[in-house]
């Protein structure tokens, strides 16, 4: 402290009071001793120096002082261990190893449990339990809320975990320590308790096989690298696609061969092969993300399944996968109604009926070793090999599984992938489509050779036409008409082949003949008549007879609006004075064939 003062001496001089100015400097200390919360002792030592600016300097110099004080405070020390509120007893939480790939699953499904017990003699109110992991969560994840917990009452609380994207940056196994946080009200106070929780976090490539649906988390169609590759594959072979054969199946053939072109090969995981880990729900397996499998050009059965399904899903084709003892492989939806199985393969048992639609299996480990037809057949054989053990074979639909196990989150990145040469994909695709056609057609040929009925020749002709083998198609359909000149199904299908050959005049004439036959029969209002009307309207449209085409189309649409939807370009073109509608591209794909069940 420093300051100035003035001293007044009233009796020092007969002339009256005398004043003198002084400089005052003081320094001191305050030492407080607190033996307890209630008792306090303080000591105040000080040194003071006084200097007078007048001749009255008698008091100049140093002076020393010391003071003492003591105080007593009523009440109880709130920092005493006995006064720190621990009204809840938190049990040791049970936390198994966690997996980054299951990030979305943990947000809706418990990662562990903890038991809380009220140790007070009064109820605890507004109990809130949450879990927090520093660095991998943006905020604590709520686990449970209890309005009132009675004295002595225990509750088991499920712990959830909403991790952020940082979880995908870990590699290998990362030991972590999180916190279980409990807040509640007791004796008018809001109290918080925390308890540490240690566990291991596995990176985004790891999983355990306690639930086969987990594989769906590794199917990543949203990955930009895969979308770009899928688009390249489709563009490379777009001019070779057979419009009258199932499009999904053809794209699956393209992807299968494109992967072979870039040298993708099956290689068993040397550390944890699928045959070893599948039956052990505690064993930790590793699945490469599809982008990593593409970069490495090798993978085991689960890696290749995830990659193949991802590329199909990126193109909008619904996929799944099949697990049998020691193995996993892909399956996809052709979107073909189950009743039309012959459009894919004459053997009904070569496809799966899933919710009324046909699915095709693909043994993806044969990529680079055998063609698509062999991979398809081998996939069905593996399913049938465990036919006597139906509980050991499972078909999982990817999108349904991803409702529980969402795809692993990925950052956009250019992987510098080599797509291979487009002409090589086309060559391999055409080769497999020819072999697939031969595989499908051989059954029709054999059935026709054995029985030789008009129905057999009709089915054979349609099968040839769908693979755009027009000459044998014409031969087979003409043979059917030789057996029965009034066989309307063969007449319509023969017209269809002429239509596909762009001989629209011949096609229209034969449609007219078939339609007139139907009008004079008991089938005049049946499904066959509707098909003929639609085909006839398409033929007239191609010939430029737009008013006639629109007239036929209107009759067909009135009788069967749903079937007529594929031919809306006819009405649109007629309304615009004959201008071709944009969606008219490849009209032959819309022509309706007439097939009869055996």
Does 276 have pLDDT greater than 70? no
Nearest Cα to Cα of residue 121 among 149, 155, 146: 149
pLDDT at 250: 95
- Which tokens sit at 140? 């604590």
Q: What is the CA radius of gyration of the chain?
A: 43
- The mean pLDDT value for 426-440 works out to 91
Torsion 310-314-319-320 (CA) sign: positive
Rounded to 5 degrees, φ, ψ at 393 are -130, 130
Contact 192, 180 (CB under 8 A): no
Query: Which helix (H) or strand (E) segment is 142 a member of?
Result: strand 141-149
Residues in the chain: 598
Question: SS3 of 222, please?
Answer: coil
| HEC-encoded secondary structure of 281-338 | CCCEEECCCHHHHHHHCEECHHHHHHHHHHHHHHCCCCEEEEEECCEEEEEEEEEEEH
What's the rounded Cα separation, in Å, for the pair 510 and 518? Answer: 12
- Which tokens sit at 553? 């189309």
- The mean pLDDT value for 162-186 works out to 92
**How many CB atoms lie under 10 A from the CB of residue 105?**
19
| HEC-encoded secondary structure of 42-83 | EEEEEEEEEEECCCCCCCCEEEEEEEEEEEECCCCCCCCHHH
Question: SS3 of 460, please?
Answer: helix
pLDDT bin (cut points 50, 70, 90) of residue 559 is confident
CA-CA-CA-CA dihedral for 468, 470, 475, 479, to nearest 10: 50
pLDDT at 558: 83
Torsion 433-436-438-444 (CA) sign: negative
Q: Which residues contact 559 (CB under 8 A, 6 or more apart)?
A: 525, 529, 530, 533
Domain range 486-590, CATH architecture: Alpha Horseshoe (1.25)
- Which tokens sit at 351? 């496809």
- Which tokens sit at 110? 């418990």
Q: What is the pLDDT of residues 472-523, one digit of tens each?
A: 999 999 999 999 998 999 999 999 999 999 999 999 999 999 888 888 776 6
Contact 81, 40 (CB under 8 A): no
Name the more confident of 321 and 533. 321
pLDDT bin (cut points 50, 70, 90) of residue 450 is very high
- The mean pLDDT value for 573-591 works out to 58
Name the more confident of 276 and 305. 305
Residues of the chain with CATH 2.60.40.10: 85-202
Residues of the chain with CATH 1.25.40.10: 486-590
Does 447 have pLDDT greater than 70? yes
What's the rounded Cα separation, in Å, for the pair 288 and 306? Answer: 8
CA–chain centroid gap for 144, Å, is: 27
pLDDT bin (cut points 50, 70, 90) of residue 585 is very low
Of 52-61, 285-294, 403-412, 552-561, which has the strongest mean pLDDT?
A: 285-294
| HEC-encoded secondary structure of 315-329 | CCCCEEEEEECCEEE
pLDDT at 199: 93
Q: Classify domain 85-202 at the CATH topology level.
A: Immunoglobulin-like (2.60.40)
- Averaged confidence pLDDT in the chain: 87
pLDDT at 582: 39
- The mean pLDDT value for 422-428 works out to 91
- The mean pLDDT value for 290-295 works out to 90
What percent of the chain is modeled with pLDDT above 90? Answer: 53
pLDDT bin (cut points 50, 70, 90) of residue 81 is very low
Task: Provide the b/e sequence for 558-580 (b: ≥16 CB within 10 Å).
Answer: ebbeebbeebebbbbbbeeeeee
pLDDT at 340: 87
Q: Where is average pLDDT lowest: 329-333, 408-412, 481-485?
A: 408-412
Q: What is the pLDDT of residues 28-72, one digit of tens each?
A: 999 999 887 788 899 999 999 888 888 877 788 899 999 989 998
What's the rounded Cα separation, in Å, for the pair 271 and 269? Answer: 6
Does 426 have pLDDT greater than 90? yes
- The mean pLDDT value for 177-192 works out to 90
Does 82 have pLDDT greater than 50? no
Contact 317, 399 (CB under 8 A): no
What's the rounded Cα separation, in Å, for the pair 463 and 340? Answer: 12
- The mean pLDDT value for 182-189 works out to 88
Q: Where is average pLDDT lowest: 73-77, 135-139, 279-283, 551-555?
A: 279-283
- The mean pLDDT value for 419-442 works out to 90
pLDDT bin (cut points 50, 70, 90) of residue 279 is low
Contact 320, 359 (CB under 8 A): yes
pLDDT bin (cut points 50, 70, 90) of residue 588 is confident
Q: What is the pLDDT of residues 9-23, one digit of tens each?
A: 888 778 888 888 889
Does 554 have pLDDT greater than 90? no
For every residue of 371-397, DSSP letters joined together read -HHHHHHHHHHHHHHTTT-GGG-EEEE
Does 575 have pLDDT greater than 70? no
Question: Tokens 């339990």 label which residue?
Answer: 129
pLDDT at 84: 60
- The mean pLDDT value for 293-322 works out to 94
Name the more confident of 120 and 595. 120
pLDDT at 430: 94
pLDDT bin (cut points 50, 70, 90) of residue 581 is very low
Rounded to 5 degrees, φ, ψ at 404 are -105, -45
Question: SS3 of 158, please?
Answer: strand
Contact 141, 77 (CB under 8 A): no
Q: Which burial class, exposed, middle or buried, applies to 474 when counting CB atoms under 10 A from its CB (0-12, 13-18, 19+)?
A: middle
Q: What is the pLDDT of residues 343-401, one digit of tens each?
A: 898 889 999 999 999 999 999 999 999 999 999 999 999 999 998 888 889 999 999 99
Q: What is the pLDDT of residues 84-140, one digit of tens each?
A: 667 888 888 778 899 999 999 999 999 999 999 999 889 999 999 999 999 999 999
pLDDT at 103: 92
The DSSP code for 408 is P
Q: Which burial class, exposed, middle or buried, applies to 505 when counting CB atoms under 10 A from its CB (0-12, 13-18, 19+)?
A: exposed
């Amino acid at each position: 402290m420093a300051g100035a003062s003035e001293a007044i001496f009233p009796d020092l001089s007969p002339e009256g009071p005398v004043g003198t100015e002084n400089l005052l400097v003081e320094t001191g200390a305050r030492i407080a001793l607190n033996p307890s919360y209630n008792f306090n002792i303080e000591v105040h030592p000080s040194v003071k120096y006084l200097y007078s600016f007048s001749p009255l300097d008698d008091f100049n110099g140093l002076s020393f002082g010391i003071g003492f004080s003591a105080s007593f405070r009523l009440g109880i020390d709130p920092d005493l261990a006995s006064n720190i509120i621990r009204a809840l007893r938190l049990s040791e939480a049970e936390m198994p190893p966690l997996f980054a790939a299951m990030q979305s699953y943990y947000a809706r499904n418990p990662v562990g449990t903890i038991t809380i017990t009220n140790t007070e003699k009064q109820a605890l109110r507004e109990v809130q339990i949450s879990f927090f992991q520093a660095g991998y969560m943006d905020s604590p994840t709520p686990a449970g809320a209890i309005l009132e917990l009675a004295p002595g009452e225990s509750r088991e609380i499920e712990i959830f975990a909403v991790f952020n994207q940082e979880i995908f940056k870990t590699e290998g196994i990362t030991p972590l320590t999180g916190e279980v946080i409990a807040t509640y009200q007791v004796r008018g106070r809001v109290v918080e308790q925390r308890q540490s929780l240690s566990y291991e976090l596995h990176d985004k490539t790891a999983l355990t096989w306690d639930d086969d649906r987990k594989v769906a988390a590794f199917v990543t169609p949203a990955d930009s690298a895969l979308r770009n590759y899928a688009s390249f594959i489709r563009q490379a072979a777009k001019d070779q696609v057979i419009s009258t054969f199932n499009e999904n199946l053809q794209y699956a053939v393209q992807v299968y061969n494109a992967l072979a072109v870039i040298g993708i090969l099956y290689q068993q995981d040397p550390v944890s092969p699928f045959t070893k880990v599948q039956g052990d729900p505690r064993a930790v397996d590793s699945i490469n993300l599809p982008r990593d499998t593409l970069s490495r050009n090798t993978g085991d059965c689960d890696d290749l399944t995830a990659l193949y399904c991802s590329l199909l899903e990126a193109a909008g084709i619904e996929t799944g996968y099949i697990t049998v003892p020691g193995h996993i492989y892909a399956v996809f939806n052709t979107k073909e109604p189950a009743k039309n199985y012959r459009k894919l393969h004459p053997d009904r048992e070569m496809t799966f009926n899933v919710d009324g639609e046909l699915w095709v299996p693909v043994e993806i480990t044969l990529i680079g070793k055998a063609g698509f037809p062999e991979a398809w057949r081998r996939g069905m054989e593996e399913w049938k090999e465990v036919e006597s053990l139906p509980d050991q074979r499972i078909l999982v639909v990817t999108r349904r599984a991803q409702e529980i196990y969402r795809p692993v989150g990925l950052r956009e990145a250019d992987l510098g992938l080599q797509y291979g040469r487009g002409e090589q994909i086309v060559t391999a695709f055409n080769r497999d489509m020819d072999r697939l056609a031969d595989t499908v057609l051989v059954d029709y040929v054999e059935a026709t050779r054995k029985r030789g009925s008009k129905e057999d020749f009709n089915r054979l002709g349609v099968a040839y036409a769908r693979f755009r083998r027009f000459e044998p198609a014409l031969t087979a359909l003409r043979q059917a008409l030789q057996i029965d000149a009034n066989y309307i199904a063969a007449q319509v299908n023969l017209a269809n082949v002429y239509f596909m050959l762009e001989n629209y005049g011949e096609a229209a004439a034969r449609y007219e003949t078939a339609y007139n036959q139907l009008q004079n029969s008991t089938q005049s209002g049946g499904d066959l008549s509707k098909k003929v009307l639609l085909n006839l309207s398409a033929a007239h449209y191609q010939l430029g007879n737009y008013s006639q085409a629109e007239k036929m189309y209107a009759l067909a649409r009135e009788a069967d609006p749903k079937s007529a939807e594929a031919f809306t370009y006819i009405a649109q073109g007629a309304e615009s004075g004959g201008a071709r509608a944009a969606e008219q591209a490849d009209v032959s794909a819309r022509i309706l064939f007439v097939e009869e069940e055996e």
